[in-house]
Structures are given as C-alpha cells and as structure tokens.
Amino acid sequence: METKVKTLPWRKAKPKSELKVKSSSKKKIWQNYELYLFLLPTIIYFIIFHYIPMYGILIAFQDYMPTQGVWGSPWVGFEHFIRFFNSYQFWNLLENTLELSFFQLLFGFPLPIIVALLLNQLRNQKYKKFVQTVIYAPHFISVVVLVGMVYVFFSPNGLINNFIMIFGGDPVYFMSEASWFKPLYISSGLWQETGWAAIIYLAALAGVSPEVHEAAIMDGASKMQRIRHVDIPAIMPTAMILLVLSVGNLMNIGFEKAYLMQTPLNVSAGEIIPTYVYKVGLQSAQYSFAAAVGLFNAIINFILLWAVNRAAKKLSGSGLW
C-alpha cells in the first residue's frame, strides 16, 4: 500500500521556480562580483553619511537640547510642525520656493533639449565644438563668483544700467527690488547650466544610427520631420527619467545662490525654505523647529517624486522604478 506523507502547513516546500530564481541571482552576483565590489564603496558611503544620520529627524518631534542629546530631550510631538504651519511666513516661504522651482523647471528642462537638438544638426565640427565649449564653460563657475558677476553687471553703475542710460532710460536697482529677484535667479541659472545639461541629450542622440536618418532622407523627410520623428523619440526615455529626478528635487532649490542674492530689500521674494532652515536652525539655534521644516520639505519632495514617476510610467513606460 502506498503511504502519503503529509506536509505540515507551516513547513510547506518552496516552489521550484522560486528556488531557481534565487540560485540564478546568486550565480549572477558571483559571476559579476567585480562590479559589486566597485559598488561597495558607494553603498558604504550612503549607509554612513545618508542612512545612519536619518535618526536625527527624531529631533523634529522633540524640544531638542544639545546638553541632553537626542534620547534625553523631551518629546513634543507635532508641535513644531503646527508652529510652522501657523507661522505668518509659511505661505510666503512656500510660494517663493514653489515659484522659483516651478519656473526653473519650466524653462530649465526643455532648453537643454532644444540646444542638444540644434547642436546635433550642425555639420561643421569646428564650429560645433566651439559652441559646446562656450555653453559648457559657465557650469564651472562657482556660485559665489556667479552671484558676484550678477551684482557687478546689475548694479546701478553696472553694464546693464549703462546700456539703459545710453538709450535715455533711468537706472534700475535690480538687486534692491523684490520683483527682480526671481527673473535674475532663473535667468542666471539658465545661463550657467543649460549647456552642461545638454550633454546627456547629446550622448543619447549620438546613439541614433545614421542609417535611420539616411532612410528618412531617402523618404523625403525634412530636418524638422527628422527631429520630430527620429531624434525626439530617441531622447524621450532619458528626458522622462531626468524630468522625474527634477520634480523630485523641486523643493530642494539651491540654498547658496538664493542666500547670496538676498538683500534686506528683496528678502520678501528671495526667502525660501532652505534659507529659512539655515537662519532658524544655525543662526537662531532652533534645531528642532528647523528639523521639522526640513522634514516637511523632504516629505513634499518624496510625494512629488512618487507621483511624477507613477505618471511617467503610465504615459511613456519609463521611470525610476
């Protein structure tokens, strides 16, 4: 007689497919262990300097006192968040941060794509390299030097005001008027980063086979038609990933540049969340309150990143995860 061996419900055998997947993944890791060794320093760096310090967000829910430490300080719950939301500066900070980030993304995202598409159409290699060098160079200027140039060019006796006065106009106090802060911030950023941001799109366009363009020319396609039907689809996956990353950093607008461009007269338009965190946290020593504001900023970034990645995945099929 045949006897059936019953398997206990808590000791069910794993499916063979799952065992095969695990063994194959381990085999692949072992076969490419050199690549994983290259990744190891980066992983260790992120664990030590990014993940371990995350316990510091606990002070956002405490009345942190340096003498008592993180575990000895009293807990206050969401008191600092409520204080920030009820602050008279909350809406002004949020508006300034979102406006600068949105307009920087609105103009700063498509412009490198346009520049890359135009450069890709140049056939004179010497002229192409010259243009690339000219538009790449501003990226290597430090933020401090860039802001110094803005102050020099847009001062009452600067180059821009001299041109205005030549044509009979009155000098404009650009750095003293709040209405000029955002245009100067965005335009200077475009001048500095557009060329550098176009590199990745040029690399994507370099991967397009010349035979595709030759076939399009044989079919009578014009330059604009080749750009529309060949070049743009080739860079679309790269563009979508960069768009998701850009939106994920929407609230992390540059602190250094905004802080250096601020003056007592334009601070109403130039005060953003990162500069506010610096002033409140380091200058006023309100560590818990500053941590709460920074955590709020990070949560908004995460929500935006998740939402845009989900939308990009549905629309184009490409995303970060």
Res. 64: pLDDT tops 50 = yes
| Mean of pLDDT values over 14-27 | 61
Instruction: Give percent of the chain with pLDDT exceeding 90.
Output: 43
pLDDT of residue 242: 87
Query: Which region holds residue 77: left if phi is over 0, alpha if psi is between -120 and 50, else beta?
Result: left
Integer Cα distance of 222 and 294 in angstroms: 51
pLDDT of residue 10: 45
pLDDT of residue 1: 46
Cβ contacts of 27 within 8 Å, gap of 6 or more: none
Q: Which of 274, 265, 282 is nearest to 97 (CA)?
A: 274
Rounded to 5 degrees, φ, ψ at 75 are -85, 140
Predicted confidence band of residue 23 (pLDDT cuts 50, 70, 90): low
| Mean of pLDDT values over 68-77 | 89
Q: Which of 16-25, 76-85, 207-216, 257-266 has the lowest mean pLDDT?
A: 16-25
Integer Cα distance of 103 and 105 in angstroms: 5
Burial class (CB in 10 A: 0-12, 13-18, 19+), 222: exposed
Neighbours of 263 (CB within 10 A): 14
* Domain covering 88-316, topology: MetI-like fold (1.10.3720)
Strand partners, 75: 62
pLDDT of residue 188: 93
pLDDT of residue 83: 94
b/e code 143-168 from CB counts within 10 Å (16+ = b): beebbebbeeebbeebeebeeeeeee
Q: Which of 204, 233, 230, 236 is nearest to 217 (CA)?
A: 230
pLDDT of residue 135: 92
**pTM for this entry:** 0.81
Which amino acid, residue 308?
V
pLDDT of residue 8: 46
Res. 263: pLDDT tops 50 = yes
Q: What is the mean pLDDT of the chain?
A: 86
pLDDT of residue 212: 86
Inter-CA distances, 33 with 27, 141, 222, 259, Å: 10, 39, 49, 45
pLDDT of residue 320: 66
Token output for 145? 């030097």
| Mean of pLDDT values over 241-270 | 86
| pLDDT, tens only, 105-124 | 899 999 999 999 999 888 88
Domain map (residue ranges) of the chain: 23-52, 88-316
| pLDDT, tens only, 118-158 | 998 888 889 989 999 999 999 999 999 999 999 999 998 88
